[in-house]
Amino acid sequence: MKSDITYPLNIGPVHPAFKEPIKFTFRIEGEKVVGADIDFGYTHRAIERIAQERNYIQIIYLLERVCGICSFSHPMAYCLAIEDVAGIEVPPRARYIRTIVGELERLHSHLLWTGVAAHEIGFDTLFMYTWNIREKVLDCLEELTGNRINYAMLTIGGVRRDITADNAQTIHQVLEYYEELYNRTSEILLDDLTLRARTEGVGILTIEQAERLCAVGPTARGSGLMKDVRVDYPVNAYYEILWLKPVSPRDIGKEPIGDVYDRMAVRVLEIQQAIKIIQFCMENLPEGDINTGSGAVKMINALKKLEGEGVGRYEAPRGEVCHYVILDNQEHPVQIKVKAPTYSNGFTWAPMLTNIEIADIPIVVASIDPCVACADRMTYVQADGSRTTISWEELRAKSIQKYKGVRRQWMK
Amino acid sequence: MKTESIVTVLQNKLGSHIQASREKITNYGNGINRVTLWISIDRESFHSSIAILKTMGRLHISTPMPYKEYEDRIELIYPFALKEKDTKFSEIMVIISVDIPKDDLKIRTITDIVPGALFMERETMEMIGVEIEDIPDPRRLFTGNYLPDGVYPLRTPKSKESMQ
């Protein structure tokens, strides 16, 4: 194509290539991207507003719905924030169980990402391979918690289910399974020539840009910014794991430049790290209670007498999740602010997407492991093209009506 | 990093503009602490205080902006994570709060110091209705342009009527 042609390229908000709605506007010269703009807000569900009308226990399950893949991370940060305000001490066994489930989530999230990344560059054999082996950890989570996602495992002051001897055996089997497969999987992901050709030197985010733009998680670590809530801030059982350190491409002998390959290397190494953390926690799992013993009603009654502010931070697979809660003698927090990793990392797309080829857009966009639902949290509903606004009750009634219609159609 | 040294440096440079400070330290044994420092600063010195904090280490904005609403004023809360050096468990939360009167809901942008705070400031403008002065990109972040002027979805108490 003529290199002097400059034109805009709009993708989204709803597009067959997207799993979630988001709008990109690129400025293209020839076949090169010279500018990128991102527009959020197409899947906003007003979760923070809804949380102001739910009690402290209901909010845990509401926040699991911020994101399907990080369905442990958001309620985890919320519970840590409430425990911070109330000064609740979590029993050691519960801290270890929280760490185990959190790392199992990281394992399945990173395997999911490697599949998505492979699919984005057309390597569908690898996509099928990683999604196939991911089933094992999902089965393990289902056995531990009852669900593949939305685990309902957490409560304020601990966890809701213990790890039994049978569960422990399953976890050991799953860890052995992934240990056996790790060398083969990492060899494909880190050494395959096709993957390297498509990811090395593409979508660069320098360490200075990562720091200025407040990047988090593997996106920051891939640029060499050693930022990881698990080692920066005492959370769950992580501070008892003395050998724990943030993963970096330096661990495979490569100086990080912040390209897609570096971000991928961090996630691959974190798969191995998650296996080791779970092994450590299983070997050192303390005996004792799994929560404070307060039932939901007792907990709500205690919390509604409190006033104060608390912060809960947790390292989700995609990066830092941080919740800020304000309590003011009510049955629900007067305010809860939710920050998901994509809220921080979305900003880093602009430098990454500049000066790349059009063909590289999908893998660069995928390289921060975006979760639009996480970052988006009332928009007006337009009925029949007119700008009619409807109330919450009407919206709920319409949702139920629609769902019943679908059921009637398919459940005959 | 000691919280006293942060407060002392700010007080030495900004004097009585630092209105109040308090800290919360939770000990986890072996010298590991979780530290949260709350500092109230007046609007005049707010921007300078963020610039001073930035010189103390890696300053990272941690959540979208929470706020508290009173009869005549709004308290904006900026939750930062500050890390002086790359040692384990050295990151502390520094929560800066600043009061602005309801008849003049304006505050200066901090994106010239912490560029990563842009999404947070855009969300604050559309959700709470605070004008961020000199913001490099004043567009809405989540809500559409069809939202009428003066409707701020997250303004409590009970902004339900305005939403309907």
User: Pick from A234, A313, A326: which is nearest to B68 by CB?
Assistant: A326
pTM of the model: 0.91
The pLDDT tens digits for B141-158 are: 888 877 888 888 888 654
Separation CA A285–CA A287 (nearest Å): 7
Q: Tell whether the model's pLDDT for residue B161 goes beyond 50.
A: no
Q: What is the pLDDT of residue A312?
A: 95
Q: Which of A249-263, A372-386, B55-69, B90-104 has the lowest mean pLDDT?
A: A372-386
Q: What is the pLDDT of residue A87?
A: 93
Tell me which DSSP letter residue A91 carries. Answer: P
Q: Which of A81-85, A94-98, A362-366 has the lowest mean pLDDT?
A: A362-366
Number of H-type helices and E-type strands within chain A: 17, 8
User: Pick from A49, A214, A231: which is nearest to B60 by CB?
Assistant: A214
**Residue A362 tokens, joined:** 């999908």
Position A336 confidence tier, pLDDT thresholds 50, 70, 90: very high
Cβ atoms of A187 and A271 closer than 8 Å: no
A232 Cβ neighbours under 8 A, 6+ residues apart: B81, B83, B88, B89, B90, B91
Position A178 confidence tier, pLDDT thresholds 50, 70, 90: very high
The pLDDT tens digits for A275-308 are: 999 999 999 999 999 999 888 999 999 999 999 9
Other CB atoms within a 10 A radius of the CB of residue A50 amount to 17
Mean pLDDT of A256-270: 96
Q: What is the pLDDT of residue A400?
A: 84
The pLDDT tens digits for B65-117 are: 899 988 899 999 999 999 987 788 989 999 999 999 999 999 999 999 999 99
Q: Tell whether the model's pLDDT for residue A403 goes beyond 50.
A: yes
Q: Is residue B34 less than 8 Å (CB to CB) from chain A?
A: yes
Q: How far is A74 from chain B (nearest CA, A)?
A: 13
Helix (H, G, I), strand (E, B) or coil at A313: strand
User: Pick from A52, A322, A380: which is nearest to B62 by CB?
Assistant: A322
Separation CA A269–CA A206 (nearest Å): 20
Chain A residues in contact with B88 by the CB 8 A cut-off are 231-232, 245
Domain boundaries, chain A: 47-344, 384-412
The CATH architecture annotation of domain A47-344 reads Orthogonal Bundle (1.10)
Q: Which of residues 234-253 of A touch B (CB under 8 A)?
A: 234, 239, 245
Name the percent of chain A lying above pLDDT 70: 95
Question: Do the Cβ atoms of B64 and A343 come within 8 Å?
Answer: yes
The pLDDT tens digits for B55-76 are: 999 999 988 889 998 889 999 9
Q: Which of A193-202, B21-30, B126-135, B148-157 has the lowest mean pLDDT?
A: B148-157
Q: Tell whether the model's pLDDT for residue A101 goes beyond 90.
A: yes
Instruction: Look over chain A and give the mean of its residue pLDDT values, rounded to a whole number.
Output: 90
Distances (CA, A) of A106 to A47, A81, A278, B70: 23, 21, 11, 41
DSSP string, B113-140: T-GGGHHHHHHHHHHH--EEET-S--S-
Comparing B147 with A190, the larger pLDDT belongs to: A190
DSSP string, chain B: --HHHHHHHHHHHHGGGEEEEEEEEEE-STT-EEEEEEEEE-HHHHHHHHHHHHHHSEEEE-SSPPEEE-SSEEEEEEEEEEESSSSTT--EEEEEEEEEEGGG-EEE--TTT-GGGHHHHHHHHHHH--EEET-S--S-SSS-TTSPTT--TT-SS--HHHH-
Domain boundaries, chain B: 3-104
Q: Tell whether the model's pLDDT for residue A381 goes beyond 50.
A: no
Comparing A42 with A238, the larger pLDDT belongs to: A238
Q: What is the pLDDT of residue B162?
A: 44
Q: Tell whether the model's pLDDT for residue A393 goes beyond 80.
A: no
Q: Tell whether the model's pLDDT for residue A346 goes beyond 90.
A: no
Q: What is the pLDDT of residue A412?
A: 63
Q: What is the pLDDT of residue A3?
A: 59
Q: Tell whether the model's pLDDT for residue B17 goes beyond 70.
A: yes
Chain B residues in contact with A338 by the CB 8 A cut-off are 63-64
Q: Is residue A45 less than 8 Å (CB to CB) from chain B?
A: no
Question: Do the Cβ atoms of A233 and B89 come within 8 Å?
Answer: yes
Q: Tell whether the model's pLDDT for residue A110 goes beyond 80.
A: yes
Chain B interface mutation, best of A327, A336, A378, highest count of B Cβ atoms under 10 Å: A378
Question: Do the Cβ atoms of B62 and A84 come within 8 Å?
Answer: no
Separation CA A306–CA A329 (nearest Å): 5
Q: How far is B141 from chain A (nearest CA, A)?
A: 6
A253 Cβ neighbours under 8 A, 6+ residues apart: none
Position A48 confidence tier, pLDDT thresholds 50, 70, 90: confident
Q: Tell whether the model's pLDDT for residue A165 goes beyond 90.
A: yes
Phi, psi of A357 (to 5 degrees): -80, 155
